[in-house]
Amino acid sequence: WLVLASTRWLSIIFERMHQLLLQRDIIHADETGLQVLHEPGRAANSESYMWLYRTGRDGPAIVLFEYQTTRARKHPQKFLEGFKGYLCTDGYQSYEGLQDIINVACLAHFRRKWDEALKSLPKEVKDKPCVAKEGLQFCNRLYSIEHELEDASPDERYEGRLKKSKPILDEFYKWLKQQRPRITPKSATGKAVNYCLNQWDKLNNYLLDGRLYCDNNISERSIKGFVISRKNFLFCNTPSGATSSAMIYSIIETSRANNLKPFEYLTYLLETLPNVDVKDQSVLDSLMPWSDDLPESCRLNNKILQQKE
């Protein structure tokens, strides 16, 4: 039933959201493992992947999942065909080298590397001034500025970052270059230094546009629902089931991001789609999760929204 509902009806909404996503100029991406038992030519314990692509700050939120057998570059290359703009990721190499795309690295991953390095140190060392603690402080200073600019307009955020964040980034880079020859490369601290330097140019790209986030946390929050669910369902049986799951999770997460009640919205779609002309784009657009034409029964009320905030 889930496969049939997805392939016959929900796929129509998914494909339209995909078209609209590619028209944006800022996309965030992430991926997580998934086990699919009956994939042709593969062992049941092979790891496949659920990829996530979503919008950033501007415009109605779109969150899309896509099932693929591997973590190879060909998958985002195909899914993002026609997209031009900024792609914000965790720095995984499969996102690099895509045509017409400017990669933006994730400050949260920079910070995570320093936090891991600090935690790996003996207690008597981590309580004293050390390289790991200094690296973490650089990241904290950059995040402090992001908190200051949280309610700023894109133009104000752009100017604020150039004035306040860029000097810290310049100082950070100079410091990293000084540390690299002093630190054992295979240590946790050495790995943090090398990670930051390898991702450096991509991290600085968040200075190019005030609409950009400095990290990819928005993707990690969107993929979290699937990750938590996976701990319960453990695996998908077939590729068609995994593809259907991707469509269903896409609609659930996009509806949540647009302050809808997912169950009510899915019910509305499955009752409405068989009775309208799905080849009419204006009809499809009236069914999108951000459409003003949706019934009030699909929307979260103000009281619930206030509780969420």
- Give the pTM: 0.93
Q: Which CATH architecture has domain 2-103+216-308?
A: 2-Layer Sandwich (3.30)
Question: For 6-60, what is each residue's pLDDT tens digit?
Answer: 999 999 999 999 999 999 999 999 999 999 999 999 999 999 999 999 999 999 9
pLDDT tens for the 309 residues of the chain, in order:
999 999 999 999 999 999 999 999 999 999 999 999 999 999 999 999 999 999 999 999 999 999 999 999 999 999 999 999 999 999 888 898 899 999 999 999 999 999 999 999 988 777 788 999 999 999 999 999 999 999 999 999 999 999 999 999 999 999 999 999 999 999 999 999 999 999 999 999 999 999 999 999 999 999 999 999 999 999 999 999 999 999 999 999 999 999 999 999 999 999 999 999 999 999 999 999 999 999 999 999 855 555 555
Domain locations in the chain as residue ranges? 2-103+216-308, 107-203
- SS3 of the chain: the string is CHHHHHHHHHHHHHHHHHHHHHCCCEEEEEEEEEEECCCCCCCCCCEEEEEEEEECCCCCCCEEEEEECCCCCHHHHHHCCCCCEEEECCCCHHHCCCCCEEEECCHHHHHHHHHHHHHCCCHHHHCCCCHHHHHHHHHHHHHHHHHHCCCCCHHHHHHHHHHHHHHHHHHHHHHHHHHHHHCCCCCHHHHHHHHHHHCHHHHHHHHHCCCCCCCCHHHHHHHHHHHHHHHHHCCECCHHHHHHHHHHHHHHHHHHHCCECHHHHHHHHHHHHHHCCCCCHHHHHCCCCCCCCCCHHHECCHHHHHHHC
